[in-house]
Amino acid sequence: QRAPPPAARASRGRQQVRTMASISERTFIAIKPDGVQRGLVGEIIKRFEQKGFKLVAMKLIQASEDLLREHYIDLKDRPFYDGLVQYMHSGPVVAMVWEGLNVIKTGRVMLGETNPFDSKPGTIRGDLCVQVGRNIIHGSDSVESAETEINLWFTPEELIDYRSCAHEWIYE
C-alpha cells in the first residue's frame, strides 16, 4: 500500500497534535530554598526534561510572605504553618510550570512522598532528601491546585506556548 501524500501526512500530524493538546495538562513545581541552596535545581529540571515534560515557565524568586501564605492557605490551621511560611521565605525559590500528558500525577510520583523517609529510591525526595522539613520540592496535587498555583505564581504572559521539537519523539 502506498503512503499518503505529504499534505495528507501533515494534516494527520496536526490532528494528532490537537488530540495531544486536549489531553495535556500543566502542573506547578517549586524548588524550595533548601533545594536551591544545595545546588539541586539542574538535577531536578533534568529529571522532568528526561521524562519528556515541557518547561513552559520558570523564574527564580524571593517569595513574599503574602504570596506564601496564599499558596499554603489550606494549611493555615496546622501547627507548622508559620514555620513553613518562614522556611519558604528564607531563600530563593525556583517556580516552574511543566506541561505534558498526566504531568500532575506523574510529577507527584517523581517527587516521592512528602516525608523523604517514606520515599522510594529513584524519586527526587527518596534520592536527595533526609527530613520532611527540608524536602526540597513542591508539586501540585490536582488539576484544581495546579491551576490555582500557576495563576498565583505566574501571569498568563509568563506562560510560553511553544511546540517542542522533541514532541514527536515523546508522544504517539
Number of residues that this document lists for the chain: 172
| pLDDT value for 5 | 47
As to burial, measured by CB atoms within 10 angstroms (0-12 exposed, 13-18 middle, 19+ buried), residue 6 is exposed
- 25-163: CATH number: 3.30.70.141
As to burial, measured by CB atoms within 10 angstroms (0-12 exposed, 13-18 middle, 19+ buried), residue 32 is buried
| pLDDT value for 139 | 98
The answer to whether the beta carbons of residues 56 and 99 sit under 8 Å apart is yes
As to burial, measured by CB atoms within 10 angstroms (0-12 exposed, 13-18 middle, 19+ buried), residue 147 is middle
Q: What is the mean pLDDT of each run of 10 residues along the chain (172 residues)?
A: 46 41 84 98 98 98 98 96 96 99 97 93 96 94 98 98 92 88
Domain boundary assignment for the chain: 25-163
| Location of C-alpha cell 522533541 | 166
Catalytic residues: 138
| pLDDT value for 8 | 43
Residue 31, all three cell numbers:
524548588
Annotated binding site: 32, 80, 108, 114, 125, 135
DSSP state of 122: T
Annotated binding site for ATP: 32, 80, 108, 114, 125, 135
Contacts of 88 (CB under 8 A, 6+ apart): 32, 33, 63, 68, 71, 72
Number of H helices, E strands in the chain: 9, 4
pTM of the model: 0.85
Element (H, E) at 127: helix 124-128
Element (H, E) at 109: helix 103-111
